[in-house]
Amino acid sequence: AQTVTQSQPEMSVQEAETVTLSCTYDTSENNYYLFWYKQPPSRQMILVIRQEAYKQQNATENRFSVNFQKAAKSFSLKISDSQLGDTAMYFCAFMKPSGGSNYKLTFGKGTLLTVNP
Amino acid sequence: NAGVTQTPKFQVLKTGQSMTLQCAQDMNHNSMYWYRQDPGMGLRLIYYSASEGTTDKGEVPNGYNVSRLNKREFSLRLESAAPSQTSVYFCASSPPVGRNQPQHFGDGTRLSIL
């Protein structure tokens, strides 16, 4: 079974600074997908960024980027120019296609990020 | 476009009562999922449905049943609620094709069992 580990239960950063959230995973698969989801106090689960394991290039979405190290099984999220609205719980998730149209996600336990003014 | 809609948003039950959580999606997705979220545990998969008429157990299925009523709707039933089932429940769906399509989540149901 796949496992996802987020070693930082809580982090804080000053507004406008950069912060990196860590995520490692364990799998014997070669083909898989990785995601970062954001859960603000409103409790919605919002997709932040995604990465396909077969792509060497790191994904980027505006202020959010990842450092994907496949050999090390590491998938960290970097948030640049942090904003107060980035305050949320962040979940790293692993997805292995299991056939047909069924894709199951395995989540880490989350990192609570607080952006301070 | 409503996406994934869950009802109710909040519910309080007494131990032993039964309850059905409803979920509907309007994105023509084949796969649907039920998760529970507990403090410090992330989201854990309860049941999923790869397509209409099929359901399978996830990581924590005990105490729950599901019904995939049609392509749009996937309900979660607690037959005899227990305090350990106090949690936030999320329904999600994913599209039928696309290797990296993410799951779309509802807004969650906060369920308290007294």
pLDDT at B47: 95
CA–CA gap between residue A103 and residue A100 (Å, rounded): 8
pLDDT reading at B100 higher than 60:
no
pLDDT at B7: 96
Touching check for B101 and chain A: CB below 8 Å?
yes
pLDDT at B95: 78
Touching check for B90 and chain A: CB below 8 Å?
yes
Q: List pLDDT tens digits, range B2-57.
A: 799 999 999 999 999 999 999 999 988 888 999 999 987 889 999 999 888 889 99
- Tell me the mean pLDDT per 10 residues along chain A, length 117: 91 97 93 92 91 90 95 97 97 80 81 97
What are the angstrom distances between the C-alpha of B26 and each of B32, B91, B97?
12, 13, 16
Task: State the DSSP code for A72.
Answer: T
pLDDT at A95: 87
**A29's tokens:** 């698969």
Across B15-36, b (16+ Cβ under 10 Å) vs e yields: eeeebebbbbbeeebbbbbbbb
Cα B53-B54-B55 angle, rounded to 5 deg:
130
pLDDT at B1: 60
Question: What is the distance in angstroms between the CA of the first residue and the CA of the last residue of chain A?
Answer: 41
Q: Which residues pair with B34 in a beta bridge?
A: B47, B91
Distance from CA of B67 to the nearest CA of A (A): 17
Q: List pLDDT tens digits, range B74-95.
A: 999 999 999 999 999 999 998 7
pLDDT at A101: 53
Q: Determine how β-strand A64-69 pairs with β-strand A74-79.
A: antiparallel
What is the sign of the dihedral through the CA atoms of A110, A31, A105 and A64? positive
CB contact under 8 Å between B100 and A45, yes or no, is no
Best residue of A38, A43, A111 to probe chain B, by most B CBs closer than 10 Å: A43
pLDDT at A102: 61
pLDDT reading at B97 higher than 60:
no
pLDDT at A2: 78
Q: Which of A106, A110, A36 has the alpha carbon at shortest distance from B42?
A: A110
Touching check for A45 and chain B: CB below 8 Å?
yes
Q: How confident is the model at residue B62 (pLDDT cuts 50, 70, 90)?
A: very high
Other residues' Cβ atoms within 10 Å of the Cβ of residue B75? 17
